[in-house]
Amino acid sequence: MIDHKLQKARTSKQEEEMDKVKKILKEDGLLESDAMFAHALIICTNTLHRRNFLTMETKEGRLNFLQICWEDRRSRSKQML
């Protein structure tokens, strides 16, 4: 069983990283009402995707990354049908 303190620390770090994702999206000019903003939140629930997003240096790179991840996610879900 995972120690409750460790679990709480992990959850806190994930919440902190997601807050950073939202801050960056807003700094990049996206509104919460934009579809890409919602796509980013969904994509960034994945730890590796979130960390890749957070380490990117340019707005263009981040938006391209999100677009490619979203298209990949959509194509995978269509293949499952």
pLDDT for the residue 4:
80
pLDDT for the residue 59:
97
Q: Within the chain, which residues score under 50 in pLDDT?
A: none
The residues near 43 (Cβ < 8 Å, ≥ 6 apart) are: 49, 50, 53, 66, 69, 70, 73
Residue pLDDT, tens place only, 25-34: 999 999 999 9
Question: Are 59 and 28 spatial neighbours (Cβ–Cβ below 8 Å)?
Answer: yes
pTM reported for the whole predicted model: 0.84
Q: Can you tell me the distance from the alpha carbon of 64 to that of 17, in angstroms, rounded to the nearest whole number? A: 20
**Long-range contacts of the stretch 71-77 (C-beta < 8 A, 24+):** 73/42, 73/43
- CB-facing half-sphere around the CA of 42: CA atoms within 13 A: 13
User: How many other β-carbons are positioned within 10 Å of the β-carbon of residue 57?
Assistant: 7
